[in-house]
Copies of this chain bind each other. A is one copy, B any other.
Amino acid sequence: MGDNKNFVKDITNIEEDFAQWYTDIVLKAELADYTDVKGFISIRPYGYAIWENIQKYADKKFKEIGVKNLSMPVLIPESLLNKEKDHVKGFAPEVAWVTEGGENKLEERLCVRPTSETIFCNMYSKWLSSWRDLPFLYNQWCNVLRWEKETRPFLRSREFLWQEGHTIHETAEEAKEFTLKILDIYEEILEKFLSLPVLKGQKTETEKFAGAEATYTVETLMHDGRALQGGTSHYFGQNFAKPFEVKFQNREGKEEYAYQTSWGISTRLIGAIIMAHGDNRGLKLPPQVAPIQVIVVPVAQQKEGVIEKATEITNSLKKEFRTEIDIRDNYTPGYKFNYWEMKGVPIRLEIGPRDIENNQCVLVRRDTLEKENVSLDNVQKRISELLEEIQRNMFEMAKENTIKRTTIAKNMEEFEKNINENQGYVKTMWCGSSECEEKIHELTGAKSRCIPFEQEHIADTCVCCGKPATKMVVWGRQY
């Protein structure tokens, strides 16, 4: 018989050392593990199942608006990467190079894709000829490499999994519209599916994607008040189309360059789920994305009929919910309760001999830890309600944290005070200069998260330089 292990004791206190708490959860909940190569993780089955659920949900949404999947090569010739000047400047410092293949030195270095704009454009220039071919709405689910110096599982890995959508359009208007349509899908994924409230807006010039004309973002706030970029959607205009000669005969019979977008979400979102929702008992998963929605734990399982009844209930629940049963005979029920709380399963169903006598079971919510007795005749319906309630409540809890940690600053004194006390989002007016952005970063460690679509008038002058300002920006320290 294993001991009645208290996982809480094994996990660093969330308020004391958030970074160590995060690492503890990643490893103990078996979401991922380190490998022998720095910055490369293995996403373990429990973590990967979360990613599969995100993929399924997002892929369906993309397909509904006409996006098709394809596959582009993982290696990009150096000459291709070099074609768009801003882009190569942004990415060249952090790529990995293949220089040998099949026992020979290669004539040209090939980089492992850090992102695939260049290779998409190269193929699009071959595939596109007439306005009738447009739009190309293509996406790929794949791995990419970025040779980061500081690495953390999910948040900043040298390899990560993502989807990268790349579209080309007949007109600038259509492309811009599509960029925002994708941003809406990202908002929905974060808010409805992952219970993560978002801040939607446009990145500043300094923070936009290398080579883009405009970058839009959904930002979300973690438990400790740091911000995390949840997904970005870029409008390129013809910035890539021109050097890559992605052109078509337009309706007037003239040659024109295509208008382009790209957009992505990645396994970073798993990091966001952990850091926005988790607590001292461990992971807390929104029901929609949880690999296991209901865990059935029999009590006094050695007693006659208990395992049989628990299995019967499990099998019937399986038809509607992702359900598993824990009948390991070398652990106590107490150990199992802690274990599945640590793994973040939204609902625990306990059932013992007395419950069976009374035709009932106990349901325990992971989000509030509230217990209730439920008749077995009613259990299916009650679980269905609870899962919805937990999904909503987790959003509300994250929203509350965001609101609590959002402040307004009219000058740098207020800015510094607010961010040191609250972390979180700081709203200010901004003159539009990158000098002020840099200065703010130096003074506070915060970067501009975005220029929100929903603007407020906070003051007449820039928080930093005091010059006239009309734009409100939200700032925050980031992951």
Q: Inside 8 A of A73's CB, which chain B residues have their CB?
A: 35, 37, 40-42, 159
A36-B80, A49-B68, A93-B103 known; 4 new pairs, CB 8 Å cut-off, are A36-B122, A40-B74, A42-B72, A93-B102
Interface of chain A residues 80 through 119 with chain B (CB within 8 A)? 80, 92-103, 109-110, 112, 119
* Chain B residue nearest in CB terms to A122: B36
Q: Which of B43, B102, B123, B145 contacts A74 (CB 8 A)?
A: B145
Given known contacts A48-B70, A49-B69, A126-B33, A97 and B100 CB-to-CB distance under 8 angstroms: yes
- CB distance A70 to B44 under 8 Å? yes
Please name the residue on chain B nearest to A73 by beta carbon: B40
CA distance A109 to B102 in the complex (A): 14
Q: A52 on the interface (CB 8 Å rule)?
A: yes
22 contacts between A and B (CB under 8 A): A33-B123, A33-B126, A35-B72, A37-B75, A37-B110, A40-B73, A40-B74, A40-B75, A42-B119, A47-B70, A48-B68, A48-B70, A73-B159, A95-B101, A96-B98, A96-B101, A99-B99, A99-B100, A102-B147, A132-B328, A132-B330, A143-B143
B35 lies within 8 A of A122 (CB): yes
Q: Determine the chain B residues whose CB is within 8 A of the CB of A47 once the complex forms.
A: 70
| Residue A45 interfacial (CB < 8 Å) | yes
Min CB–CB distance A392 → chain B (angstroms): 29
Indicate if A149 sits at the interface (CB-CB under 8 A): yes
* Cβ of A50 to closest chain B Cβ, rounded Å: 11
In A233-252, the 8 Å CB interface with B consists of none
Residue of A51, A68, A70, A143 most packed against chain B (CB within 10 A): A70
A83 CB, min distance to chain B CBs, angstroms: 11
Residue of B45, B127, B138 touching A68 (CB-CB under 8 A): B45
In the complex, chain B residues whose CB is within 8 Å of the CB of A51: 71
For this chain, the copies found in one complex come to: 2
In the complex, the chain B residue whose C-beta lies closest to that of A330 is B132
Complex interface: chain B residues within 8 A of A147 (CB): 101-102
Are B126's CB and A77's CB within 8 A?
Answer: no
Contacts of A37 in B (CB 8 A): 73, 75, 77, 110
With a CB–CB cut-off of 8 A, which chain B residues contact A161? 71
Chain B, Cβ-Cβ closest to A100: B97
CB of A142 within 8 A of chain B? yes
Chain A residues 10 to 61 lying within 8 A of chain B, measured CB to CB, are: 33, 35-37, 40-45, 47-49, 51-52
Q: Which residues of B contact A102 (CB under 8 A)?
A: 93-96, 147-149
Chain B residue contacts of A138, Cβ below 8 A: 45
Residues from chain B with a CB closer than 8 A to the CB of A45 are 68-70, 138
Q: CB < 8 Å: which of B40, B77, B132 contacts A36? A: B77
Q: Which residue on B lies nearest to A148, using beta carbons? A: B102
Alpha-carbon separation in the docked complex, A235 to B49 (Å): 27
From A104, which residue of chain B is reached at the shortest CB distance? B147
Within 8 A of B (CB), among A119-157: 119, 122-123, 126-127, 132, 138, 142-143, 145, 147-149
Instruction: Determine how close the nearest CB of chain B comes to the CB of A221; give it in whole angstroms.
Output: 27
Shortest CB distance A411–B (Å): 39
- Chain B residues near A42: list those with CB within 8 A: 70-73, 119, 123
- Contact partners of A93 in chain B: CB under 8 A: 102-103
Contact yes or no, A74 B35, CB < 8 A: no
